[in-house]
């Protein structure tokens, strides 16, 4: 049974009057608790669908409404949220395209005729927007067969405010590559690829914004505008009006602000004259669209406005208007905008009930002056108290309801646990398969599948609904996941700019100077131009790009550039290889030591494990699921686990730890969770309590917030085994703590502990299972190299819908601080404000209170007494504090999805790693997050501080790969895994090459462990194992033309993807991706794919090099003796013209050298296969 059945059943039980006729325009459903409102409205909507706008006081309430409506059977397509759209008015930052996409989709749904429920905050509903007739006029639809010139389509997209970006990743972006146009249409989950045949739309396909690969065909797409403010139809007339307004207003300002106003308006005038969209455009909405309407106007007389607690809605609306007026008047007084229309962006609050049927819902039964119900219905739906962990309270409530002849229905997702809990208090519910005829059920206790996430009692109808929220304390709701991902998993693809250092594995470190075309044997090819010491130059063919790596090193020290000639580079590699062997030997030793210790294996997952995992409120990412699988596989082995879970902040490491901890508890073992800070331990304690508490897991906390008596009690419970999980700081390693049966130790951010704690942990690793978590990124290449020795799982894909934090570095100004805070509060969020000096922190607090009087501000720092700090932190976690002003005690651990603005004062005094960790405190949901790093320009900054601030701004994308800041952090992570002593070797050959050497050495040492007589590597040239694919040197035009992929960085990207393909299957996938994105490839691209396919086959055969000129192929072999003599015998019979000249096989040909190479490979493969068949038969 679905929760949806509840809404229908309750609707049938008592049909409630709804607004409709002129005499009943406004109806109030009174005495109705918050848990029941979405359930009853869903029932009314499903019975009689109509356009419905639900207006709530704040964002948190809006999200709960959305989730509950979905739970109650309203389809995802029929439920939308309307985010705030005018947050950009608080500053000149670019629009939040993702929120804007949701907003425009919701507005379009209200403007259309189909039934829909849109949930909006009061402030979002009051924002004036495009009138319905304008939305309809500018929206257009494309289907296969529609005729339109590609240039006309791109002009139309530009006119609607879409921006050109390659590749397309976010809503509102588009790109064109010849006859292929990619567009991320507002309101869609995935972008769309339009393939044109001349001037006709041939096909429409949705595609993945990360992989850029097509997903499926779509029948048609409607293109809505990407902005709520469109460019004026007559720019000349509009500009004349602006200049007249400027002349009038500038005269009233003092000189400084007058100059600022003139500068701002004249710059905007230039944008209007050039007909381009710009970030400040929304500031002119009242002037461009004087007929802009309120959201309610889009509904029409047949729709419905629902007000959730009308008085609260009014208070929220008035607060939003006050904050908007404050911000805009402040900006206009500073000469940042014209002031004549600052009050025209929001409709008055009474507009929410004008010219439309209204349904008021609430428990306060009180109304603002502008709302008078025509009919008041006493619904009487009462909320329930928590029954979790209170058998006495549960028994008392059940008896009370039974004595009132109630039908008590337990609506649950955990039927077995519900039965078990009720059986303990001697109640045995009857299963109910259907809620049809709910009113006909006899009084009693019933069990129904389908959790409503919040129960209520209906005394008039003698019905009580109890849910998992009351019974188990599980009240989380699953919100729909956005499908698109901005950013991608970290990769090692080249990201070269002219002037970057590179490593050629044969010739050493040089400097890259771009792509260059050269003609060789009459054939044009594209090369990487590298410069070495003494002016030496090297041109590397793009089909040999697998020999070149971007130079990455610890820190920013410039490497020494090598000479092309001499033995210096070979000596450098020899030294680095020796160091890599030492690292590998130590890792092998620890690995062997761990496998000698045996412990009882964990059993399979219990039903409770499966139920607990089902309560996870989000959809797991692929790498998160892989990490969970890795941990469970480790626990099933006979020796202790020692696994590192590595993932960016907010990527879901804690959920992996939670599932491991619960599995340990289910298996009768105790768990200790060790955190580097008190605040982080508090956060984990809350998370563990929320997720595992409903399963009767006894969880304790040990940190400096605990009283001495509480600490003593916890120690006794750990010793007796009554405490199953303990969470705390490094004090958990104290000798006074005695566990009855410690089985699993979870360590968060181990690198932040001291030497003494790390030594203790090293000893524990061979005794108990250890699961470590780190947000310091570890590169995939390194994890692959150490796969079996240092158990490691990478969670490297961002949760769906997660956006990169918008990062701003600027000089400090009080106005910027105020507007950033007001912007966040206007959308119902919270703010972290970091000031890292205890001495001045209270002065900053007073300054903030004057800047933003409406904000609730709390102060927290490490020198506060526990009794002072704990209520501040808890208040912020509970949403009772808007702005947390603190020192860097928030650097690790605080996970607050509603806090989406970070402000750091004196950012130049922080290290790059600190700035990165601080920024990780925001952006934990699918809302656009902001990080503002302020510095004081009057203070001299050294070059390093400037570089750090530049780096943190540069590294702004999720999974942005090898940007400057992330490289630094990856190498820091590599140092933590390998040991910092390896930095010298890493710097001498570059990070990528050093990782390859580690991988080589690990393979050798593992082979020695299995076979002590193994001597791998002796007598081999130092570059032998670093040799990439064999060389194919023939005259063939194999390149990616600029006319096919115009952007050099993208060409380089695909050159490398093609060349490093490990197999023909992967190569075919890359080819399909290129054709999908850029259309049918030209001959030179197909030739390049054929060249690499040949090189892969040459490697598999054992050919090291093929040179083709003068009508013959000269074929060299890596080890001719390793090839069976029968191969040569059969080959000479099949191809009589081939012969050996010294060590090379000579293969004469006429015509196309590439076709001849393919024939040669096919003949050799056929002969080798024939020999293998003969050998197998023998």
Q: Which helix (H) or strand (E) holds 197?
A: strand 192-197
Highest mean pLDDT among 192-196, 523-527, 891-895: 192-196
For residue 183, the model assigns a pLDDT of 97
Pull the structure tokens for residue 1107: 């040179």
Range scoring the smallest mean pLDDT among 1-5, 441-445, 772-776, 1008-1012: 1-5
**Residue appearing with tokens 């750091």:** 904
Look up residue 481 and give its DSSP letter.
P
- Tell me the pLDDT tens digit for each residue of 94-144: 777 778 899 999 999 999 889 999 999 999 999 999 988 898 899 999 999
The answer to whether the beta carbons of residues 118 and 110 sit under 8 Å apart is yes
Give the per-residue pLDDT at 490.
33
Question: Would you say residue 964 has pLDDT above 50?
Answer: no
CA distance 843 to 944: 29
Task: Output the pLDDT for position 489.
Answer: 33
pLDDT at 445 over 60: yes
The confidence score (pLDDT) of residue 139 equals 93
pLDDT, average across residues 559-587: 87
Q: Is the pLDDT of residue 212 over 80?
A: yes
Task: Say what the pLDDT of residue 794 is.
Answer: 83
971 pLDDT band (50/70/90 cuts)?
Answer: low
pLDDT at site 565: 84
Residue 268 has pLDDT above 70, yes or no: yes
pLDDT at 160: 95
Name the more confident of 148 and 20: 148
In whole angstroms, what is the distance from residue 136 CA to residue 131 CA?
9
The DSSP call for residue 619 is P
Query: Hey, is 541 helix, strand or coil?
Result: strand
Q: What pLDDT, on the 0 to 100 scale, is given for residue 152?
A: 96
CATH 1.20.1090.10 fits 407-472, yes or no: no
For residue 860, pLDDT beyond 70: yes
Secondary structure (H, E, C), 596-654: HCCCCCCCCCCHHHHHHHHCCCCCCCHHHHHHHHHHHHHHCCCCCCEEEEEECCCCCHH
State yes or no: pLDDT of 453 exceeds 80.
no
Residue 31 tokens read as: 């005495």
Looking at residues 1098-1104, what average pLDDT do you find?
92
Q: Is the pLDDT of residue 785 over 60?
A: no
Confidence band, pLDDT 50/70/90 cuts, at residue 929: confident
Strand partners, 520: 523
The CATH number of the structural domain formed by 1048-1177 is 3.90.1150.50
pLDDT at 747: 92
For residue 784, pLDDT over 60 is answered with no
Q: What's the pLDDT at 898?
A: 86
Mean pLDDT of 1142-1156: 90
Look at the domain 140-223 and name its fold.
Penicillin-binding protein 1b fold (3.30.2060)
Task: Provide the pLDDT for residue 479.
Answer: 63
Residue 970 has pLDDT above 60, yes or no: no
- In our burial notation (b when 16+ CB lie closer than 10 A, e otherwise), range 679-707 reads bbbbbbbbbbbebbbbbebebbbbbebbe
For the domain made up of 599-795, the CATH class stated in words is alpha beta
**Residue 330 CB-density burial (10 A; 0-12 exposed, 13-18 middle, 19+ buried):** middle
CB 306 within 8 A of CB 361: yes
pLDDT band (50, 70, 90) for residue 958: very low
* Higher pLDDT, residue 90 or 655: 655
Q: Identify whether the C-beta of residue 380 lies closer than 8 Å to the C-beta of residue 29.
A: no
Q: Going by DSSP bridges, is the β-strand pair 117-121/79-82 parallel, antiparallel, or unpaired?
A: parallel
**pLDDT reading at 1122 higher than 80:** no
Question: Average pLDDT for residues 175-183, to the nearest whole number?
Answer: 93
Domains 140-223 and 599-795 share a fold: no
How many residues in the chain? 1178
Among 356-360, 648-652, 683-687, 751-755, the least confident range: 751-755
Average pLDDT on 514-521 reads 86
pLDDT of residue 849: 95
Identify which of 273-287, 1007-1021, 1112-1126 has the greatest average pLDDT: 273-287
Sorting pLDDT into bands at 50, 70 and 90, what band is 959?
very low
Residue-range domain boundaries for the chain: 4-133+291-377, 140-223, 235-276, 407-472, 599-795, 806-956, 1048-1177
- What average pLDDT does the chain have? 85
Question: Quick check: 170 and 216 in contact, CB under 8 A?
Answer: no
Is CATH 3.40.50.300 correct for 806-956? yes
- Specify the pLDDT at position 109: 93
What is the arithmetic mean of pLDDT over 615-643? Answer: 89
Please state the rounded mean pLDDT for residues 715-724. Answer: 95
Check residues 422 and 92 and name the one with the higher pLDDT: 422
pLDDT band of residue 786 (cuts 50, 70, 90) is low
Lowest mean pLDDT among 98-107, 186-195, 354-363, 799-808: 799-808
Pick the residue with more confidence: 1022 or 1092?
1092
In this prediction, residue 893 carries a pLDDT of: 58
pLDDT at 977: 56
4 against 252, higher pLDDT: 252
Between strands 508-520 and 537-541, the pairing is unpaired
What fold characterizes domain 4-133+291-377? Rossmann fold (3.40.50)
Band of pLDDT at residue 755, cut at 50, 70 and 90 = low
Share of the chain above pLDDT 70, in %: 88
Q: What is the pLDDT of residue 545?
A: 85
pLDDT band, residue 1020 (cuts 50/70/90):
very low
pLDDT at 105: 93
């Amino acid at each position: 049974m679905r929760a949806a059945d509840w809404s229908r059943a309750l609707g049938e039980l008592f049909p409630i009057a709804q607004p409709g006729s002129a005499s009943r325009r406004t109806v109030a459903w009174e005495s109705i608790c918050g848990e029941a409102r979405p359930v009853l409205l869903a029932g009314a909507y499903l019975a009689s669908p109509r356009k419905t706008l639900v207006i709530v006081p704040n964002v948190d309430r809006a999200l709960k409404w959305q989730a509950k409506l979905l739970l109650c059977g309203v389809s995802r397509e029929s439920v939308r949220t309307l985010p705030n759209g005018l947050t950009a008015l608080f500053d000149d930052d670019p629009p939040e395209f993702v929120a804007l996409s949701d907003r425009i989709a919701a507005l379009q749904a209200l403007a259309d005729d189909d039934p829909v429920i849109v949930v909006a905050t009061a402030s979002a509903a009051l924002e004036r927007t495009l009138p319905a007739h304008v939305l309809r006029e500018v929206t257009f639809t494309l289907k296969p067969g529609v005729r339109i010139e590609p240039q006309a389509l791109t002009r139309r997209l530009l006119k609607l405010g879409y921006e050109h970006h390659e590749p397309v990743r976010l809503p509102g972006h588009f790109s064109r590559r010849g006859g292929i146009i990619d567009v991320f249409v507002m309101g869609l989950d995935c972008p769309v690829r339009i393939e044109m045949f001349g001037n006709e739309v041939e096909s429409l396909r949705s595609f993945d914004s990360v992989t850029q690969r097509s997903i499926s065909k779509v029948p048609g797409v409607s293109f809505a505008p990407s902005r709520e403010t469109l460019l004026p139809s007559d720019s000349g007339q509009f500009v004349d009006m602006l200049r007249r307004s400027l002349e009038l207003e500038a005269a009233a300002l003092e000189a400084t602000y007058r100059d600022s106003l003139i500068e701002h308006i004249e710059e905007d005038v230039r944008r209007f004259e050039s007909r381009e969209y710009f970030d400040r455009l929304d500031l002119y909405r009242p002037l461009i669209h004087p007929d802009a309407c309120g959201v309610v106007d889009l509904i029409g007389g047949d729709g419905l406005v629902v007000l959730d607690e009308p008085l609260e809605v009014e208070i929220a609306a008035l607060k939003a208007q006050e904050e908007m007026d404050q911000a805009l008047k402040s900006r206009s007084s500073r000469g940042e905008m014209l002031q004549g229309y600052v009050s025209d962006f929001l409709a008055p609050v009474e507009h929410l009930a004008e010219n439309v049927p209204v349904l008021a819902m609430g428990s306060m039964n009180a109304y603002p002056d502008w709302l008078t119900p025509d009919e008041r219905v006493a619904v009487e739906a009462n909320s329930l108290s928590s029954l979790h962990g209170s058998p006495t309270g549960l028994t008392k409530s059940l008896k009370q309801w039974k004595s009132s002849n109630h039908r008590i229905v337990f609506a649950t997702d955990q039927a077995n646990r519900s039965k078990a809990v009720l059986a303990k208090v001697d109640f045995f519910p009857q299963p109910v398969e259907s809620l049809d005829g709910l009113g006909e059920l006899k009084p009693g206790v019933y069990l129904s599948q389908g959790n409503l996430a919040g129960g209520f009692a209906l005394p008039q109808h003698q019905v009580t609904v109890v849910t998992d929220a009351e019974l188990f304390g599980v009240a989380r709701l699953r919100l729909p996941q956005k499908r698109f991902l901005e950013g991608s998993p970290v990769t090692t693809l080249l990201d070269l700019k002219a002037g970057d250092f590179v490593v050629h594995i044969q010739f050493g470190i040089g400097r890259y100077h771009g792509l260059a075309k050269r003609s060789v044997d009459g054939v044009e090819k594209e090369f990487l131009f590298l410069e070495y010491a003494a002016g030496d130059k090297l041109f590397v063919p793009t089909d040999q790009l697998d020999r070149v790596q971007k130079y990455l090193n610890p820190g920013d020290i410039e490497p020494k550039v090598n000479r092309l000639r001499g033995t210096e580079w070979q000596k450098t590699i020899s030294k680095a290889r020796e160091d890599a062997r030492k690292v590998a030997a130590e890792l092998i030793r620890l690995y062997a030591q761990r496998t000698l210790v045996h412990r009882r294996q964990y059993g399979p997952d219990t039903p409770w494990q499966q139920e607990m995992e089902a309560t996870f409120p989000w959809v797991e990412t692929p790498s998160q699921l892989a990490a969970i699988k890795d941990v469970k596989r480790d626990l099933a082995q006979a020796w202790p686990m020692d696994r590192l879970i590595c993932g960016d902040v907010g990527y879901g490491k804690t959920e992996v730890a939670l599932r491991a901890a619960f599995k340990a508890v289910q298996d009768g073992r105790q768990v200790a969770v060790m955190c580097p800070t008190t605040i982080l331990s508090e956060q984990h304690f809350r998370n563990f309590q929320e997720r595992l508490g409903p399963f009767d897991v006894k969880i304790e906390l040990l940190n400096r917030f605990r009283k001495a008596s509480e600490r003593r009690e916890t120690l006794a419970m750990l010793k007796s085994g009554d405490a199953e999980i303990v969470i705390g700081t490094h004090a958990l390693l104290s000798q006074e703590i005695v566990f009855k049966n410690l089985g699993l130790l979870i360590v968060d951010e181990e690198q932040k502990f001291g030497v003494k704690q790390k030594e203790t942990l090293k000893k524990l690793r061979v005794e108990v299972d250890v699961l470590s978590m780190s947000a310091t990124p570890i590169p995939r290449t390194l994890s692959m190299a150490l796969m079996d020795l240092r158990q490691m799982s990478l969670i490297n894909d961002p949760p769906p819908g997660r956006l990169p934090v918008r990062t701003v570095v600027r000089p400090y100004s009080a106005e910027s601080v105020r507007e950033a805070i007001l912007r966040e509060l206007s959308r119902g969020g919270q703010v972290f404000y970091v000031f890292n000096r205890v001495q001045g922190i209270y002065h900053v607090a007073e300054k903030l209170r004057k800047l933003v009087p409406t904000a609730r501000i709390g102060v927290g720092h490490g020198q506060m007494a526990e009794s002072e700090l704990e209520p501040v932190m808890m208040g912020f976690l509970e949403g009772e504090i808007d702005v947390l002003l603190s020192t860097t005690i928030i650097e690790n651990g605080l996970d607050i999805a509603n806090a989406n603005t970070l402000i750091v004062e004196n950012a130049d005094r922080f290290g790059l790693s600190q700035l990165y960790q601080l920024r990780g405190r925001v952006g934990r949901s699918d809302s656009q997050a902001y990080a503002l790093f302020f510095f004081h320009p009057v203070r001299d900054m050294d070059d390093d501080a400037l570089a750090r601030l530049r780096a943190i701004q540069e590294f702004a994308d999720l999974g942005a790969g090898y940007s400057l800041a992330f490289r630094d952090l990856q190498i820091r992570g590599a140092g933590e895994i390998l040991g910092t002593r390896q930095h010298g070797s890493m710097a001498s050959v570059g990070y990528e090459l050093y990782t390859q050497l580690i991988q080589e050495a690990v393979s050798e040492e593992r082979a020695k462990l299995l076979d002590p007589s193994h001597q791998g590597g002796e007598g081999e040239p130092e570059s032998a194992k670093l040799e990439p694919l064999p060389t194919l040197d023939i005259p063939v035009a194999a390149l990616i033309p600029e006319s096919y992929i115009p952007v050099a960085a993208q060409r380089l990207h695909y050159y490398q993807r093609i060349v490093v393909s490990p197999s023909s299957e992967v190569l075919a996938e890359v080819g399909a991706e290129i054709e999908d994105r850029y259309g049918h490839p030209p001959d030179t691209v197909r030739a390049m794919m054929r060249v690499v396919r040949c090189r892969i086959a040459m490697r598999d055969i054992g050919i090291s090099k093929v040179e083709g000129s003068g009508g013959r192929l000269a074929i060299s072999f890596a080890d001719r003796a390793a090839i069976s003599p029968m191969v040569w015998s059969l080959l000479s019979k099949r191809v009589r013209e081939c012969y050996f000249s010294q060590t090379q096989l000579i293969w004469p040909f006429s015509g196309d050298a590439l076709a001849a190479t393919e024939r040669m490979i096919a003949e050799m493969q056929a002969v080798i296969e024939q020999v293998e068949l003969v050998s197998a038969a023998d």
